[in-house]
Amino acid sequence: MIKVMLKDGSSKEFNEGIAIKEVAESISAGLARVALAGEVDGEVKDLNYKLEKDCKLNLLTWDDEGGKRAYRHTTSHIMAQAVKRLYPNVKLAIGPSIDNGFYYDFDTDKPFSVEELEAIEKEMAKIIKEDYPLERFTLPRDEAIRYMEERNEPYKVELIRDLPEGEEISFYKQGEFVDLCAGPHLPSTGKVKAFKLLSVAGAYWRGDEKNKMLQRIYGTAFSKKSELDEYLLRLEEAKKRDHRKLGKELDLFDILEEGPGFPFFMPKGMVLRNVLEEYWREEHRKRGYQEIKTPIILNEDLWHRSGHWDHYKENMYFTKIDEGNFAIKPMNCPGGMLVYKRRLHSYRDLPQRMAELGLVHRHELSGALHGLMRVRCFTQDDAHIFMTPDQIRDEVLAVIELIDDFYKVFGFKYHVELSTRPENSMGSDEDWEMATDALKNALEAKNMDYKVNEGDGAFYGPKIDFHLEDSLGRTWQCGTIQLDFQMPERFDLTYVGADGEKHRPVMIHRVVFGSIERFIAILTEHFAGAFPVWLSPVQVKILALVEKHHPYVLELKRAMEEKGIRVEVDLRNEKIGYKIREAQMEKVPYMLVIGDQETENRTVAVRSRKEGQLGSMKVEEFISKVLDEIKSKAM
């Protein structure tokens, strides 16, 4: 007999070799129907998995991430089976579940068309109706290679050859279809209730641009059709809010063929960007930060010293100057180290908070580029805080408060994650333990819920990541706090303590926006381009009915500009309805329509983007209203 500890804390005894699905049936017929997989001692397994020893068992349903992954992973296999039925010569690559869906990569002579996706969906529906059981089996390495060679699947052969010696090589079979896979999966294809294929994209095999370009089909799957429909509606809304589309329509920014991955900001986009940067500077000055600027190009030796060469050189750009080797910086921290190192510091000088809006360059694969979300040059709102060990807690807490204040201004909710030491890292176990405990203690002091991401820290230290939630419920990782004992050691940074001896400072790396470009993309989609008044590139647009109203319109423009309001006028000889529609398309917060009555009474007829017609107002009253919204940063 074996003892199985269940999620509710209770335990039951079962015969050794009992399958997870049989455990579910013994607990409740209802639970057995909705269970998708089982988590055994923290590892997700198929429902057919047999329990051979005492363990903790969590039965996973659609409400659990592990259940969703098994469900969507199975749907990816169903898609691959459908593709192989329709196109027998296609070669299979990989097909994992991902956030909100799945994909599968195929080697085919030509891209899949929209019509072909529809045919694949129909074949998938047949496979689901046929309700094939998913049967797992294993083979020794040599047999597994021969098996996939006989099936003419070279990518699977390559994957098998790359598996470590002694690794179990497992396959899943459903009907005539077999795939190399570690699982887990649903018990049968008929368990999938609602799915949709979404798009096709190119993807290099194993993400390497030197390899062949494959065709990647993306799809999604849900346990109910209503959930799928709701998700597809959100996707449609996301398309309307796509920052690449809105960036062009609102003339904010663009990516041109002459600079792939290098964004161009137009005058209105620069207004938005400058407002964000001015707010950033104002808030940092209040909190005792000093702003610095470090060079974009620095000697290659610096990147060896910082450790970035060993961990980051594949993402860097290089150049030669006076026969010396130089690198374009992929991040700002080594420059910050040199600024600190210029002179001797006393413990009385600490903490030192140095902030930088630093332009960095990183080599991204062309297939990974995505508007402002993934670019090859961007501005990080970095800060590096140098402190004594006893100042760590207060400084981390102050950064958490700063980031919280920033995100509240934009109306973002967020959650936090603590990432711990990765395999490829620098430093001693003691330093890492001290740094990780310091971040944990700060989070707990703020009573913040957090998720732990084991092994996902930076190579020089653990970190707290802040994930924003936008108006569509999507999350974006932006702010981060990284505690670092390694860089001060590598750069031999010191301060003179109260004892007159030299000591090593501790350091925080942190960003709030993350990158200005990416944050602008997130804001554009969050607000669907309809920015609040304080962020809007044009805050007021004044529309003249006819030419005789032009002098009063220009007088209003001057009066508002003197108060710092961003104003445009429309003096074109066009119908007022056309002018209003165009201003609405430009998502201007306020329109003022000026005719005879307004000119004679020295008033303005106000039309609000948010509230509609507000009627006639005195000029001073309207200006005061707009200034109040700007000052309060009203949403």
- Same domain? For 513 and 546 the reply is no
- Same domain? For 290 and 432 the reply is yes
Give residues with Cβ within 8 angstroms of 579, minimum separation 6: 543, 570, 572
Instruction: Compute the C-alpha angle 505/395/515, nearest 5°.
Output: 95
Confidence band, pLDDT 50/70/90 cuts, at residue 628: very high
User: Among residues 496, 526, 556, which one ends one of the domains?
Assistant: 526
Q: How far apart are CA 363 and CA 376, in angstroms?
A: 6
CB 180 within 8 A of CB 160: yes
- Same domain? For 17 and 123 the reply is no
- Same domain? For 594 and 480 the reply is no
Q: How far apart are CA 183 and CA 64, in angstroms?
A: 16
- Same domain? For 105 and 15 the reply is no
- Same domain? For 268 and 395 the reply is yes
**Residue 432 pLDDT > 90:** no
**Residue 339 pLDDT > 80:** yes
Q: Calculate the average pLDDT of the chain.
A: 93
Question: Is 384 annotated as contributing to ligand binding?
Answer: yes
Q: Considering the domain boundaries, does residue 422 fall inside one?
A: yes
Residue range 452-464: mean pLDDT, rounded: 85
State how beta strands 97-98 and 101-107 pair.
Answer: antiparallel
Q: Taking Cα atoms as reference points, which of 203, 206, 176 lies closest to residue 85?
A: 176
Q: Considering the domain boundaries, does residue 247 fall inside one?
A: no
Q: What is the CATH number of the domain that holds 56?
A: 3.10.20.30
Confidence band, pLDDT 50/70/90 cuts, at residue 312: confident
**What DSSP letter does each residue of 602-616 carry, written as one string?**
TEEEEEETTTEEEEE
Q: How many residues would you count in the chain?
A: 635
**Residue 308 pLDDT > 90:** no
Question: Is 549 annotated as contributing to ligand binding?
Answer: no
Q: Considering the domain boundaries, does residue 131 fall inside one?
A: yes
Give residues with Cβ within 8 angstroms of 20, minimum separation 6: 35, 37, 38, 40, 45, 46, 47, 48, 49, 51, 57, 59
Cis, peptide link before residue 184, omega less than 30° from 0:
yes
CB 129 within 8 A of CB 80: no
- Same domain? For 262 and 220 the reply is no
Q: What is the CATH number of the domain that holds 183?
A: 3.30.980.10
Residue range 470-491: mean pLDDT, rounded: 89
Confidence band, pLDDT 50/70/90 cuts, at residue 435: confident
Q: What are phi and psi of 444, to 5 degrees?
A: -70, -30
Q: Considering the domain boundaries, does residue 303 fall inside one?
A: no
Residue 318: CB atoms within 10 Å:
13
Question: Is 363 annotated as contributing to ligand binding?
Answer: no
**Residue 32 pLDDT > 80:** yes
Give residues with Cβ within 8 angstroms of 499, minimum separation 6: none
**Residue 367 pLDDT > 80:** no
Cα-atom radius of gyration of the chain, to the nearest Å? 29
| pLDDT tens digits for range 201-232 | 888 898 887 899 999 999 999 999 999 999 99
At residue 311, the pLDDT reads: 78
Helix (H, G, I), strand (E, B) or coil at 415: strand
Q: Considering the domain boundaries, does residue 349 fall inside one?
A: yes
Residue range 410-439: mean pLDDT, rounded: 88
Residue range 311-331: mean pLDDT, rounded: 92
Residue range 188-192: mean pLDDT, rounded: 95
- Same domain? For 562 and 487 the reply is no
- Same domain? For 486 and 358 the reply is yes
Q: In this structure, what token pair is assigned to residue 345?
A: 């510091």
From 42-46, 179-183, 364-368, 383-387, the region with the lowest mean pLDDT:
364-368
**Residue 99 pLDDT > 90:** no
Give residues with Cβ within 8 angstroms of 9, minimum separation 6: none
**Residue 541 pLDDT > 80:** yes
Host domain of residue 153: 66-240
pTM of the predicted structure, to 2 decimals: 0.82
Q: Considering the domain boundaries, does residue 323 fall inside one?
A: no
At residue 422, the pLDDT reads: 87
Q: Which amino acid is at 60?
A: L
**Residue 118 pLDDT > 90:** yes
Please report, rounded to a whole number, the percentage of residues in the chain having pLDDT higher than 70: 100
At residue 586, the pLDDT reads: 96
State how many domains the chain has.
4
CB 334 within 8 A of CB 302: yes
Element (H, E) at 136: strand 135-138
State how beta strands 567-570 and 540-544 pair.
Answer: parallel
Helix (H, G, I), strand (E, B) or coil at 423: coil
Q: How far apart are CA 345 and CA 341, in angstroms?
A: 9
| Three-state DSSP string of 15-50 | CCCEEHHHHHHHHCHHHHHHCCEEEECCEEECCCCE
- Same domain? For 133 and 261 the reply is no
**Residue 517 pLDDT > 90:** yes
- Same domain? For 218 and 280 the reply is no
**Residue 324 pLDDT > 80:** yes
Q: Considering the domain boundaries, does residue 569 fall inside one?
A: yes
Q: How far apart are CA 231 and CA 473, in angstroms?
A: 11
The packing angle between helices 516-526 and 225-241, to 10°, is 120
Q: What is the CATH number of the domain that holds 557?
A: 3.40.50.800
**What DSSP letter does each residue of 254-273 carry, written as one string?**
E--TTSTT--EE-HHHHHHH
| pLDDT tens digits for range 125-165 | 999 999 999 999 999 999 999 999 999 999 999 999 999 88
Q: Which amino acid is at 618?
A: K
Q: What are phi and psi of 204, to 5 degrees?
A: -70, 140
Q: In this structure, what token pair is assigned to residue 393?
A: 């807690």
| pLDDT tens digits for range 76-98 | 999 999 999 999 999 999 999 99
Q: How far apart are CA 264 and CA 57, in angstroms?
A: 53
Residues catalogued as catalytic:
333, 362, 380, 382, 384, 463, 509
Strands (E), 454-520: 463-469, 475-484, 495-496, 502-503, 506-511
- Same domain? For 96 and 214 the reply is yes
Q: How far apart are CA 111 and CA 201, in angstroms?
A: 8
Residues paired with residue 4 on neighbouring β-strands, in sequence order? 12, 55
Q: How far apart are CA 631 and CA 434, in angstroms?
A: 42
Higher pLDDT, 430 or 347: 347
**Residue 564 pLDDT > 90:** yes
Cis, peptide link before residue 260, omega less than 30° from 0:
no
Q: In this structure, what token pair is assigned to residue 620?
A: 């001073």
Q: In this structure, what token pair is assigned to residue 166?
A: 């002694």
Q: Considering the domain boundaries, does residue 559 fall inside one?
A: yes
Instruction: Using the Cα atoms of residue 365, residue 369, residue 374 and residue 375 in order, give the sign of their dihedral.
Output: positive
CB 327 within 8 A of CB 316: yes
